[in-house]
Every structure is written in C-alpha cells, then in structure tokens.
Amino acid sequence: MTAKISIIGAGMTGSTTAHWLAEREIADLVLVDIVEGMPQGKALDMQEALPVIGKDVAVVGSNDYAATKGSDIVVITAGIPRKPGMSREDLLTTNANIVSAAVENTLKHSPDALFIVLTNPLDTMTYLAMKVGKLPRERIVGQAGILDSARMRAFVAMETGVSVENIQCYVLGGHGDEMVPLTSRSNIAGISLRDYLPADKLEAIVNRTRKGGGEIVNLLKTGSAYYAPSVAVAQMAEAILKDKHLIVAASAHMQGEYGLKDMFFGVPVQLGRGGVEKILEYKLEADEKAALEKSAAAVKESITVMQSLVKI
C-alpha cells in the first residue's frame, strides 16, 4: 500500500476502525495503544484474517509512536470512558491530556498528516487537537455527523420499511443531546421526512437519534458504541485518500460559517485529499436555526470548561 493510516487508541472503536479500513484495502495500518501487547495482538490477529478475504494490507501494532512515521492520516480514538464517581470535568481533563499527547507524538513522526478525531467530548477534543497541533482547519476534522445521520437513517428505515439506500438524513450541530436532526432536509427518495412521516413518529425518531449514543451505552453497560462510529471514520478516511470530494456531516472549525467562530461544530463538509476542502451552508428553517444556536451554546460552554482545566 502506498498510503498509511495510524490509529491512536486500539480499543473498541480503534480496532474496529482498523477492521473496516483493512477490508477497504486503501492503506497500511498502525494501531498504537498504551496497553502493552494489546495493539500488537490485535494487529497480528487482523493480519492473519486478511488472507481469507484476499486483502494485501500491512497491519502493525505498537506502543511506540515511531511506528506511525509517515502517516497520511491519524485517527485519534484514545481516551477513557466516564467511570463511576468521575465528574465530566475529570473526564474532560483526562481525555484532553491523552488527546494532546497523541497529537504531539504523531506530529513528530508525521508532520503533514491529516487528523480525524473520535474521542469524546468530540467537538471539544477536536478543537483541542487543532490548537495543540497548530493545525490549519483543512487538516483536522471530528467524526460525529456520519454516525448521527446513520443512526437517524436506521431509525427511519425501521419505521418505514424502506431501504436505507433511499433514506438520506442530515444531523448537524454538536455531538451531544442538543444535536440537530434536520428534518426538513432529510428525505426518503426526495420526499421530505416532514411530508413522509406523521409528526409524532418523526419527533420520536429525532429524540431517539439525539440519545442514540446513550441507548447503546445503557444496553452494553460497559463501554460505548463502536461499529457505527468506526465505519464512519473509515468512510471519511476513504473519501480523503481517494480524493472523492465527498460531502458528509462532520465536526469542522468554524470561521464565520453559520455565524460561528473559533469552535468545532457539526456541519456539511467536503472531504478530499486536502482534507476539509469546503464547508457548505444550508439555508435553514427558523426552528432548525434556533436549535443549532442552542447546540452551539452547549459546545461553546464545553470548550470554555476545557480551557479552564487544560493549558493550551
């Protein structure tokens, strides 16, 4: 392979990202984690699976960032989940330190890499990574919108029985309970969901989408979702490496778009070899505009808290 993707954090989302990427045969892969032996073991297991599906991809696991040298893309999934007795601030501080170290260490070996961040709280961690790495906005994006939109698509398909291929959904805003499923834009084969579904059914889908992550956490009891988040990262990485100019919802640095400045926020972005090539601005319905403002306020608050806890 000529391209190389390094994934920092070889836990559930990190290793599953590697799995989806290996199947796509688009890059050699490196898994890095602090746990000794774990990334090596997972990488070797995956390497041994690839003959069965006929994919020529090198998968390496390491505890040393030197293995990431020359990466085109760095995916950051390293972090810890919230544990009993831990405040959100504790989580924010711990994950901020982990993400900062991951950015600094990977940049030493891959000064030109593009970054895709997955660690939560997503918009805040992506903002931090940008500042720590002094990255231009083209080179860093957070994964959330593809996942949230996919969840909504799945719920619409479950409700209507229509193929997921006919269902397009757009979920913007921060990756939290205030995210904004754009029901006016979301559609089934071109018919707005507002016309296709009764209002109460649509509202139930919107609410379930907003709480989609929590629904999985409650079911799993230990850990959070990983199949859907990781396949979303794989799609973003593929769009970048194949220079597809693919438009997806993702967390990008706002420089005046949607009236927002110097924060990360879920918006439609065009991804290609240069990373974030463009941010698209929708003309929004009044209710959607108000909802986005509320969501932006929540993200801004999280960034402010992070800035008070961590020096950047």
The least CB distance from residue 72 to ligand APR, in Å, is: 20
Distance CA 183, CA 194 (A): 6
Q: Which listed residue (21, 31, 46, 118) binds ligand APR by CB under 6 A?
A: 118
- Say whether residue 106 binds ligand APR (CB under 6 A): no
**245 catalytically annotated:** no
The least CB distance from residue 123 to ligand APR, in Å, is: 12
Cβ-closest position to ligand APR: 11
Which among 76, 103, 124, 78 is positioned nearest to 310, based on CA atoms? 124
Q: Extract the tokens encoding 143.
A: 């994964």
The least CB distance from residue 100 to ligand APR, in Å, is: 10
Distance CA 261, CA 283 (A): 18
The least CB distance from residue 16 to ligand APR, in Å, is: 8
- Say whether residue 268 binds ligand APR (CB under 6 A): no
Distance CA 309, CA 174 (A): 20
- What values do phi and psi take at 303, rounded to 5? -65, -40
Q: Which residues pair with 95 in a beta bridge?
A: none
The least CB distance from residue 27 to ligand APR, in Å, is: 20
183-215 residues labelled b (16+ CB within 10 A) or e (exposed): bbbbbbeeeebeebbeeeebeebbebbbebbee
By beta-carbon proximity to ligand APR, the closer residue of 82 and 137 is 82
Q: Choose the binding region for ligand APR from 118-126, 191-199, 245-253, 294-302 (rule: CB under 6 A).
A: 118-126
- Say whether residue 173 binds ligand APR (CB under 6 A): no
Which among 157, 160, 101, 146 is positioned nearest to 251, based on CA atoms? 146
Catalytic residue among 19, 109, 175, 245: 175
128-142 residues labelled b (16+ CB within 10 A) or e (exposed): bbbbbbebebebbbb
Distance CA 301, CA 308 (A): 11
- Say whether residue 60 binds ligand APR (CB under 6 A): no
276 phi-psi bin (left φ>0, alpha ψ -120 to 50, beta other): beta
Q: Which listed residue (71, 106, 120, 270) binds ligand APR by CB under 6 A?
A: 120
The least CB distance from residue 1 to ligand APR, in Å, is: 23
Q: Which listed residue (61, 176, 181, 229) binds ligand APR by CB under 6 A?
A: 229
Q: Which listed residue (19, 26, 27, 33) binds ligand APR by CB under 6 A?
A: 33
By beta-carbon proximity to ligand APR, the closer residue of 31 and 202 is 31
Q: Choose the binding region for ligand APR from 75-83, 241-249, 281-289, 300-308 (rule: CB under 6 A).
A: 75-83
- Say whether residue 141 binds ligand APR (CB under 6 A): no
Give the three-class secondary structure for 158: helix
Count of residues in the chain: 312
**Active-site annotation, residues:** 175
| Residues lying near ligand APR in the complex (CB under 6 A) | 8-14, 32-35, 77-81, 98, 101-102, 118-120, 223-224, 226, 229
